[in-house]
Structure 1
Amino acid sequence: MQRRSMLLAALGSLAASGTATAASEVLDRPAGMSPLAAQRLITGIARAGERLVAGGQRGHIVHSEDGGRVWVQALVPVSSDLTAVSFVDAKVGYATGHDGVVLGTRDGGHGWTRLIEGRQVNTLVLEHMQRRAAASDASEQDRKLLAEAQRNAEAGPDKPFLDLCFTSANEGFVVGAYGLILCTADGGRTWEPWFDRADNPGLLNLYAIRVHRGSIYIAGEGGLLLKLDRDMQRFRELTSPYKGSYFGLAATKAGVLAFGMRGNAFISTDEGAAWKAVHTGLDASIVGGAVATNGTVALVDQSGGIALSIDGGLSFTRSSLRSQVPLAAVAFASTSSLVLGGPRGLRTIDLTSKDK
């Protein structure tokens, strides 16, 4: 329960799916159309070329063509709460969410299709671990993971995916609660379980995944940092400087930035070998980060605080501008403006403004 509570706090979510029946209902029910969709809980924002796309509660996805002034709701086939949105280019994008949901779009976020959901995820992972546990080289860890997969299948489609990372329109990973990792090589048509290919024996929650200069990193609960070893096809644990949870990662011009509880942030400029603490000026948990085209980095925390860096995350200055409500997501609308997401929806702020 403690891990679940931390998970929901990190997302800023108002409610989680309760029973397997409730999860199945939202998986089979399209998101309701609402003129207030952009004013409800938003937990993920991404750029699709010049367009902004944001997702959040009850499957709502909205997009803006004018830097966040006007938002239009998209058609979404599920009403599960969404957690993250990411685009490969101006057309191809993906979103993740509660109940094991992964969505895809090929038209810049106007329309979305369901690529996989929790019922399918449970079956996929269980069958995968049954094969692994029956193999001649099966380990004790394989048998433990099989038991976990069986419990998940019995519990129903209640495990959320929390973040995603695509290196191309076809190849990518989604990560989530209790160590869940799936990989696709064909744009989400098929998926392969990878939670047995990570140095995460405690099945800690995986909150963030990013690619930086060709390397893929994962950050999670309890100070967990992982990096993909392409030769071994496995996420190997990195030496972490912090035991608190990381809620996000940012790929900056200086290196890989990990951030999380109590305003803590650490940067690695040597591909994860060593990490240096960065003073952000933020006190609450940092739950969102974004990088502008000019290299400026923005971090936001759960109290509404904003910190900015012009040197790739090596140092930060706390902005005098702040949100009046908790924040959960951030993106650059331009090099001088931010789009913020949280419990009260979306807001665009001008970084040059003197209005507090």
Structure 2
Amino acid sequence: MLARTVRRWLVPAVLVFAWLCAPGAAAGAEGVRQRSQIAEDLYDVDFVDADRGWAVGTFGAVYRTADGGRTWQAQPTPTAQHLYGVSFADAASGWAVGRSGEIVHTADGGLHWTEQRSHAHEHLFAVDFIDSREGWAVGDWGVVLHTADGGATWEDRSLPADQIVYAVDFLDHGRGWMVGEFGTILHTRDGGQSWVKQDAGTHKTFFGVAAVSAETAWAVGIDGLVVRTRDGGTSWDLQHGQREAASFEKGGFAGLLDSPGFYDVEIRGGKGYVVGDVGNVLVSEDGGETWTGSLLPAPWRLSWIRGLSVLPSGRGMLVGASGLTFSVDGKQMRFSQLPR
């Protein structure tokens, strides 16, 4: 698992090291007065309405907002494991997953969190609950977990192949997608009883997936890759990046800066967002038909952005390195917490 973890985070670490060594790289941060209330790196966020949301991160961190992300309050959890994914079925019922098979659950909006036993020891990178009873968690070594009783019991539905699964998104109790390393895209129409492999024409790793209908979904990954299907996954169209040659192979660090990895994607309310390394955000204001790039302000431009949650209105909350949180509404950004 260590080799996989190193491989997953090597590129962001190298980029930060290169930036720190560059002359004058941090000069733009002078005079910044706003400090983050959140010290931990944040990996995922989930909102249930315009006001209430939760973000999770390193060392068991869970933060809750009740004012749309303007302020955040820490919530105690029974774990010190890094938490990589969070999903709330409603304002009361939520789950977070992380390292070494960790699953924690709240039934009261995060006032109290308890551990749930999954008997999995692999890292879990994502979780998606369809309602307060049925949910899925995915992660390292092809682990796939399913519950139909709110996590009281978790059933092992792991893949036969040894491949990391980074993201899962279900439309309803029947239809869903999973994505992962080596170009893996898997689709189910029968509630996960069977999974069909779909070909996006690449062996590059996918980190995020989002479906808006039975026919239309997006997947994002390394080297600025964004692909979309409009036929249920029979074919996938390239919208951003390249299917084959890696940017590092083509242009070294300059190529990596031009084509950063993307970690998450979501489209709602006619607006879409893709987030990733080097302060990059892709924004769509036409339901994912076209994408334009946006960057964080200069002092935080090399911060990575790991997770997002988008409301039906199209407004979204994005989270990332060193407690970074900010809201987006199309191309408009409002920062509530900035990295120190």
Instruction: Name the TM-score class by shorter chain.
Output: 0.7 to 0.9
Report the equivalent of 1:279. Answer: 240
Superposition pairs of residues 1-356 of structure 1, within 5 angstroms: 2-8=3-9, 38-49=38-49, 50-116=51-117, 120-121=119-120, 157=121, 159-195=122-158, 198=159, 200-201=160-161, 203-212=162-171, 214-230=174-190, 233-252=193-212, 255-279=216-240, 283-292=259-268, 294-319=269-294, 321=296, 323-324=300-301, 325-332=303-310, 335=313, 338-349=316-327, 351=329, 353=332
User: Alpha carbons of 1:243 and 1:64: their partners in 2 closer, same or farther (altered >3 Å)?
Assistant: same
How high is the TM-score relative to the length of structure 1? Answer: 0.74
Report the equivalent of 2:247. Answer: none
User: Alpha carbons of 1:84 and 1:185: their partners in 2 closer, same or farther (altered >3 Å)?
Assistant: same
Q: Tell me by how many angstroms 1:232 deviates.
A: 8.1
User: Alpha carbons of 1:229 and 1:108: their partners in 2 closer, same or farther (altered >3 Å)?
Assistant: same
The answer to whether the 8 A contact 2:227-2:236 is kept is: yes
The answer to whether the 8 A contact 1:10-1:247 is kept is: no
The answer to whether the 8 A contact 2:41-2:57 is kept is: yes
How many positions carry a matched residue from both structures?
A: 291
The answer to whether the 8 A contact 2:126-2:138 is kept is: yes
Q: CA RMSD in A?
A: 2.9
Deviates more, 1:206-215 or 1:225-234: 225-234
The answer to whether the 8 A contact 2:225-2:241 is kept is: yes
What letter corresponds to residue 61 of structure 1 in structure 2? V
Q: Deviations over 1:240-265 (max 9, x none)?
A: 32110000011236711000001101
Tell me which protein shows more helix as a share of its residues. Answer: 1
User: In 2, distance between residues paired with 1:183 and 1:204?
Assistant: 18
- SS of the equivalent of 1:54 reads strand
Q: Deviations over 1:262-285 (max 9, x none)?
A: 110111111111111112797200
The answer to whether the 8 A contact 1:63-1:110 is kept is: no
The answer to whether the 8 A contact 1:51-1:66 is kept is: yes
User: In 1, distance between residues paired with 2:191 and 2:36?
Assistant: 48
Report the equivalent of 1:31. Answer: none
User: Alpha carbons of 1:283 and 1:165: their partners in 2 closer, same or farther (altered >3 Å)?
Assistant: same
The answer to whether the 8 A contact 2:328-2:334 is kept is: no
Report the equivalent of 1:130. Answer: none
Q: Tell me by how many angstroms 1:334 deviates.
A: 8.6
How high is the TM-score relative to the length of structure 2? Answer: 0.77
Q: Tell me by how many angstroms 1:87 deviates.
A: 1.3
Q: Tell me by how many angstroms 1:309 deviates.
A: 1.2
What letter corresponds to residue 245 of structure 1 in structure 2? T
Deviates more, 1:73-82 or 1:37-46: 37-46
What letter corresponds to residue 248 of structure 1 in structure 2? G
The answer to whether the 8 A contact 2:267-2:314 is kept is: no
The answer to whether the 8 A contact 2:223-2:241 is kept is: no
User: Alpha carbons of 1:303 and 1:179: their partners in 2 closer, same or farther (altered >3 Å)?
Assistant: same
Q: Tell me by how many angstroms 1:354 deviates.
A: 8.5
The answer to whether the 8 A contact 2:94-2:105 is kept is: yes
User: In 2, distance between residues paired with 1:355 and 1:74?
Assistant: 24
Deviates more, 1:40-49 or 1:210-219: 210-219
User: In 2, distance between residues paired with 1:316 and 1:247?
Assistant: 18
The answer to whether the 8 A contact 2:175-2:191 is kept is: no
The answer to whether the 8 A contact 1:212-1:255 is kept is: no
User: In 2, distance between residues paired with 1:85 and 1:231?
Assistant: 21
Residue segments in structure 1 that go unaligned for 5+ positions in a row = 13-34, 122-156
The answer to whether the 8 A contact 2:327-2:333 is kept is: no
What letter corresponds to residue 216 of structure 2 in structure 1? G
Q: Deviations over 1:107-161 (max 9, x none)?
A: 22332211125xx32xxxxxxxxxxxxxxxxxxxxxxxxxxxxxxxxxxx4x210
- SS of the equivalent of 1:58 reads helix
Identity %: 26
Q: Tell me by how many angstroms 1:168 deviates.
A: 1.9
User: Alpha carbons of 1:223 and 1:354: their partners in 2 closer, same or farther (altered >3 Å)?
Assistant: closer
